[in-house]
């Protein structure tokens, strides 16, 4: 596969390409390295040094603080639950709807598509949506974090388009073999669409992991707060707000240390970063080819 590139121009291109990508990769990741380094540094060091990648004094204090209570650990549990179950819900709703909408002959298809597109552009807003969730008795239930966003219209349309591009012959072959629509979807279309499904699994999972607003609106029970609610709390608590808390006894509440903010970002990011490598293999080439031949 690689042999065709053994030309001088190709080699120059390769070298330039590797350099560009390496630079871009470093630019992307170095600020995060600073955040990681900062999370292990003392607050004094963070005040004094602008940017650094290795802390002079290494301390775990920030992490000890974060994990010393059950609250954050519990909220990580909530986040993982919502992310896993929520993503499955997303995939079910999105794939089924996208599959049927990918059939151009379906009566009423354009009407439904119009509805979907219209809903991307016009929305009722926070309060009307809240009232619907309330009427469905979903308040204070983790389902309120999963159902109201079960389909992203954006994702739906792209998945639908990918489905549309699957060569028709393959489906026809399946049909001749006696597959039902469900069978076609499950045995032929889904395996053929692994890169796409991996992509949207990732998109949905990241969406759930990063979501805090739904939880703030729909969840009153602090026991059910996901991690991001906690993180925001720590990251956004500015000096000014903290100062105002308690001017009656000024030394009572102080803003969280910079190092704790950074540790919190690390804790909130690393788990979701770990999802990617698992999905990455589906981005590899040749999946489609293999299925067609096999």
Partner 1 sequence: MEQATAQGNLPQASKPAVYRTSIAARLRRDKWLYLLLLPGLLYFLIFKYVPMWGVLLAFQNYQPFTGFWKSEWVGFEHFRLFFENPEFYMLLRNTLLLSFYNLIFFFPAPIILALLLNEVRLAFFKRTIQTMIYVPHFISMVIVASLTYVFLTTEGGTVNELLFQYTGNKIQFLSDPSWFRPMIILQTIWKECGWGTIIFLAALAAVDVEQYEAATIDGANRWRQIWHVTLPAIRSTIVILLILRMGSVLDNGFEQIYLMLNPLNRTVGEVFDTYVYAMGITQGAFSYSTAVGLFKSIVGVTLVLGTNWLAKKFGESGLY
Partner 2 sequence: MKKKKKQAKRVSTFLILSTVCAAALAGCSSGSGGSEGASGDSSAAPSAIASAEAEKPLKLNIMLPIFKTNYPKDDSPVAAELEKLTNTDIHFEWVPNASYGDKFNITLASGNLPKIIYVPDSKGPSFVSAVKSGAFWDLTDKLKNYPNLSQASEVILNNSSINGKTYGIYRGRELGRNGVYYRQDWLEKVGLQQPKTIDDFYNMLKAFKEKDPDGNGKDDTYGLVMVKWTAGWGAGFDQIKLWFGAPNVWGEKDGKLVPEFEYDEYFEALKFMKKLYDEKLVNQDFAVMDSAKWTDPLVNGQAGAIIDVVDGAARADDKIHAALKDAGKDDSREQYVDVFGAVTGPDGQIHTLPTSGFAGLLAIPKSSVKSEEEVDRILKFLDQLNEPDLQTLTSFGLEGKHYKKIDDKTLERSSDSVLLESEVEGLNQMVPYIPEGKGLQVAQTPLRLKQTEVQLKNRDTIVANPAEPFISEVYAQKGQQLGNIINDARIKFIVGQIDEKGWRDAIELWKKSGGDDYVKEINELYAASKS
**Residues in region 97-126 near partner 2 by CB under 8 A:** 110-111, 114-115, 118, 126
Distance CA 88, CA 151 (A): 11
Are 86 and 141 in contact, with CB atoms under 8 Å apart? no
Of 37 and 234, which CB lies nearer to partner 2 in the complex structure?
234
Select from 28, 105, 249, 293 the one that contacts partner 2 (CB under 8 A): 249
Distance CA 200, CA 203 (A): 5
Say which entry of partner 1, partner 2, none residue 12 contacts (CB below 5 to 8 A, set by partner kind). none
Query: Side-chain half-sphere of 176: how many Cα atoms within 13 Å?
Result: 6
Select from 76, 147, 245, 253 the one that contacts partner 1 (CB under 8 A): 147
Return all residues near 37 (Cβ < 8 A) that are at least 6 apart.
52, 53, 54, 55
**Minimum distance between the CB of residue 23 and partner 1, rounded to whole angstroms?**
10
* Residue 24 near partner 1 by CB under 8 A: yes
8-19 burial code (b ≥16 CB/10 A, e <16): eeeeeeeeeeee
* Residue 169 near partner 2 by CB under 8 A: no
Identify which of 89, 82, 94, 83 has the alpha carbon closest to the alpha carbon of residue 197: 94
Say which entry of partner 1, partner 2, none residue 237 contacts (CB below 5 to 8 A, set by partner kind). partner 2
Hey, what are 261's tokens? Answer: 């903010």
Site string for partner 2, 53-82 (x = CB under 8 A): ----x-------x--xx-xx--x-------
Select from 18, 92, 213, 278 the one that contacts partner 2 (CB under 8 A): 213
**Minimum distance between the CB of residue 81 and partner 2, rounded to whole angstroms?**
18
Q: Choose one: 60-68, 73-81, 191-199, 245-253; the region binding partner 1 (CB under 8 A).
A: 191-199
């Amino acid at each position: 596969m690689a042999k065709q590139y053994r030309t001088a121009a190709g080699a120059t291109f390769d070298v330039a390409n590797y350099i560009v990508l390496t630079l871009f990769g470093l630019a992307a990741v170095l600020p995060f390295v600073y955040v990681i380094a900062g999370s292990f540094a003392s607050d004094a060091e963070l005040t004094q040094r602008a940017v650094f990648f290795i802390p002079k004094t290494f301390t775990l204090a920030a992490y000890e603080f974060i994990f010393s209570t059950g609250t954050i650990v519990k909220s990580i549990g909530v986040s993982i639950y919502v992310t896993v179950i929520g993503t499955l819900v997303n995939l079910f709703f999105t794939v089924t709807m996208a599959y049927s909408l990918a059939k151009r002959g379906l009566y009423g298809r354009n009407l439904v598509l119009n509805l979907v597109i219209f809903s991307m552009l016009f929305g009722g807003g926070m309060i009307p949506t809240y009232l619907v969730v309330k009427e469905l008795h979903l308040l204070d239930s983790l389902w309120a974090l999963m159902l109201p966003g079960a389909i992203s219209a954006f994702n739906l349309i792209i998945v639908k388009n990918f489905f549309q591009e699957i060569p028709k012959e393959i489906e026809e072959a399946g049909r001749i073999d006696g597959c039902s629509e469900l069978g076609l979807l499950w045995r032929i279309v889904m395996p053929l669409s692994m890169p796409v499904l991996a992509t949207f699994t990732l998109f949905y999972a990241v969406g759930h992991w990063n979501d805090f607003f739904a939880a703030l609106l729909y969840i009153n029970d602090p026991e059910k707060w996901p991690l991001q609610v906690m993180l925001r709390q720590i990251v956004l608590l500015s000096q000014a707000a903290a100062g105002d808390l308690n001017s009656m006894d000024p030394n009572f509440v102080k803003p969280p240390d910079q190092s704790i903010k950074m540790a919190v970002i690390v804790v909130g990011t690393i788990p979701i970063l770990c999802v990617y490598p698992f999905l990455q293999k589906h981005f590899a080439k040749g999946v489609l080819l293999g299925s067609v031949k096999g």
